[in-house]
């Protein structure tokens, strides 16, 4: 019995040690800023005396104050009904700063000024907040929010065309955690399309009014390379399966494709010539990566390019109708390849359809909502999501747009998602976390008024996060910078 007892005690000790180690490392992986912590002393004094007060942003009243609770550092980081209110290192994009500021030289001013119905903050107090946010919003212990787990943190990225920024969203909280400046010139270059490498190490952005493709480290979100491909309307960047090269399309009447070596960030080949491409837009590689399909934005067709053979063919997306490069009935916008199959789907913005072709033959025509544009495919569910930017929103009459959900097995629309979208455009599926990201541009003058201002011209847009298990919104229209357009997810 003594032997058995000793063995049992050893087992218990081993289990306890393992338990302690697991919990130690689990705790060490947590973001310290979201653990029990507090504001720096001077920040705490102002918020306690003037903001987290009766009838405003205290525990008893915050639900009637846009759900913004300022009683603790942790609660501030949770944001409000409109999303993040302080964004580390970005005082100009932090709505909190806009509402407490009344000094034009210190940044944007949004009414009503806070604290509401009290004395305005002094210049030194506003400057204190501005510098605190610019330094990363550290807590009393000096921890910066969203700074841990940089090599594994799951994030979503949304380009903001109106401000030359990329919004970075933390997938655990659904909040904007950073704004990244993109572009190479002082002018607005319009970051149009963003793509992530399949290994999650890098993200790339091209510009509809610029000359560069830029490469960023997805751990640090720092610029690590760029290549000048010439001024153009660069609309789509598409990576091959090995993440070694990318193609970028120039959406012009005499358009072209540029192939980039992603390791050296240099041009490896240019596909151009008189009347070679007319308004090329969407790009998809074949399963073997040896054939490229490109949509002719204004026509009824796709180009089929085989680079090794220097062969370019035109494939009509209409049975019995010759390929047309302009004034077509379809206006094919985007193209998506279904992995491990010779199957492609194309959004046709003029005919309000998605067309499926296999082995260069149309095999299905799927009616969807008005003005279908972007697509996102879920391998886990075998579903294709399609943003229909101008669709009539039957559930929310003051809003515009919907998402059509296509079952790739049956080629039928099985669901139409109506939320408080306004011109939904960019989409991304995160199968790991079972959510869909939807970016609403809100560039129409009739769109919803923004909660706060932007340093750029135009109204802020917003994004939704939809739970694909329940089809309910996890994030219902959090506001971000001007013209959110393209979405990518680091899984």
Cα-based distances in Å from 295 to 271, 286, 321, 435, 456: 15, 14, 16, 28, 32
Structure tokens at 96: 């909190």
397 burial (CB, 10 Å; 0-12 / 13-18 / 19+) is exposed
SS3 of the chain: helix, strand, coil, percent, to 5:
15, 40, 45
Structure tokens at 410: 């049956």
CA–CA distance, 439 with 294 (Å, rounded to integer):
24
The DSSP code sequence of 152-202 is T--EEEEEETTTTEEEEEETTTTEEEEEEE--SSSS---EEEEEE-TTSSE
Residue with tokens 């999303």: 83
Helices (H), 438-482: none
**3-state DSSP call for residue 440?**
strand
CA–CA distance, 50 with 116 (Å, rounded to integer):
9
Which CATH class name applies to 163-490? mainly beta
CA–CA distance, 199 with 242 (Å, rounded to integer):
9
pLDDT per position in the chain (491 positions), as tens? 333 333 333 433 433 333 333 333 333 336 766 665 689 999 999 998 888 887 789 888 888 889 999 999 999 999 999 999 999 999 999 999 999 999 999 999 999 888 888 889 999 999 999 999 999 999 999 999 999 999 999 999 999 999 999 999 999 999 999 999 999 998 999 999 999 999 999 999 999 999 999 999 999 999 999 999 999 999 999 999 999 999 999 999 999 999 999 999 999 999 999 989 999 999 999 988 999 999 999 999 999 999 999 999 999 999 999 999 999 999 999 999 998 889 999 999 999 999 999 998 999 999 999 999 999 999 999 999 999 999 999 999 999 999 999 999 999 999 999 999 999 999 999 999 999 999 999 999 999 999 998 989 899 999 999 999 999 999 999 999 999 999 999 98
Cα-based distances in Å from 452 to 178, 324, 376, 457, 462: 17, 45, 30, 13, 12
236 burial (CB, 10 Å; 0-12 / 13-18 / 19+) is buried
| Angle subtended at Cα 402 by Cα 400 and Cα 407, rounded to the nearest 5 degrees | 170
**3-state DSSP call for residue 131?**
helix
Cα-based distances in Å from 117 to 50, 103, 112, 129: 10, 18, 9, 20
């Amino acid at each position: 019995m003594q032997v058995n007892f000793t063995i049992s005690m050893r087992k218990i000790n081993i289990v306890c040690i393992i338990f302690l180690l697991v919990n130690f490392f689990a705790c060490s992986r947590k973001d310290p800023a979201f653990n029990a912590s507090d504001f720096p002393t001077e920040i705490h004094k102002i918020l306690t005396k003037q903001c987290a007060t009766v009838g405003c942003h205290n525990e008893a009243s915050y639900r009637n104050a846009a759900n913004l609770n300022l009683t603790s550092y942790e609660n501030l980081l949770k944001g409000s009904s409109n999303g993040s209110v302080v964004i580390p290192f970005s005082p100009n994009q932090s709505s909190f700063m806009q509402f407490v500021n009344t000094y034009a030289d210190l940044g944007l001013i949004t009414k009503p000024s806070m604290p509401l119905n009290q004395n305005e903050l002094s210049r030194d107090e506003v400057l204190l907040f501005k510098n605190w946010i610019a330094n990363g919003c550290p807590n009393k212990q000096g921890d910066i929010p969203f700074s841990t787990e940089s090599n594994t943190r799951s994030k979503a990225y949304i380009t903001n065309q109106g401000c030359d920024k990329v919004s970075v969203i933390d997938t655990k909280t659904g909040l904007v955690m950073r704004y990244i400046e993109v572009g190479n010139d002082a002018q607005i270059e319009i970051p149009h399309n963003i793509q992530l490498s399949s290994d999650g190490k890098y993200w790339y952005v091209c510009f509809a009014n610029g000359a560069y493709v830029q490469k960023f480290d997805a751990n640090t979100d720092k610029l690590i390379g760029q290549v000048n491909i010439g001024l153009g309307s660069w609309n789509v960047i598409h990576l091959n399966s090995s993440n070694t090269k990318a193609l970028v399309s120039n959406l012009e009447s005499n358009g072209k494709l540029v192939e980039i070596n992603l390791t050296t960030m240099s041009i490896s080949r240019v596909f151009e010539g008189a009347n070679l491409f007319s308004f090329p837009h969407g790009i998809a590689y074949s399963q073997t990566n040896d054939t490229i399909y490109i949509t002719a934005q204004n026509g009824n067709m796709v180009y089929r390019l085989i680079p090794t053979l220097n062969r370019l063919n035109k494939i009509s997306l209409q049975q019995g109708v010759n390929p047309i490069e302009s004034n077509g009935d379809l206006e094919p916008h985007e193209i998506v390849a279904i992995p491990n199959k010779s199957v492609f789907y194309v959004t046709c913005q003029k005919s309000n359809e998605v067309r499926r072709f296999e082995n260069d033959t149309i095999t299905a025509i799927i009616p969807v909502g008005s003005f279908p544009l972007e697509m996102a495919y879920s391998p886990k569910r075998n579903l294709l999501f399609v943003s229909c930017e101008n669709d009539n929103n039957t559930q929310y009459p003051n809003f515009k747009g919907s998402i059509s959900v296509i079952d790739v097995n049956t080629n039928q629309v099985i669901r139409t998602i109506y939320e408080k979208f306004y011109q939904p455009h960019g989409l991304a599926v995160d199968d790991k976390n079972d959510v869909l990201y939807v970016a609403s541009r809100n560039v129409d003058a009739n769109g919803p008024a923004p909660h706060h201002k932007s340093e750029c011209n135009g109204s802020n847009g917003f994004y939704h996060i939809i739970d694909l298990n329940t089809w309910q919104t996890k994030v219902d229209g959090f506001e971000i910078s001007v013209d959110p357009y393209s979405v990518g997810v680091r899984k």
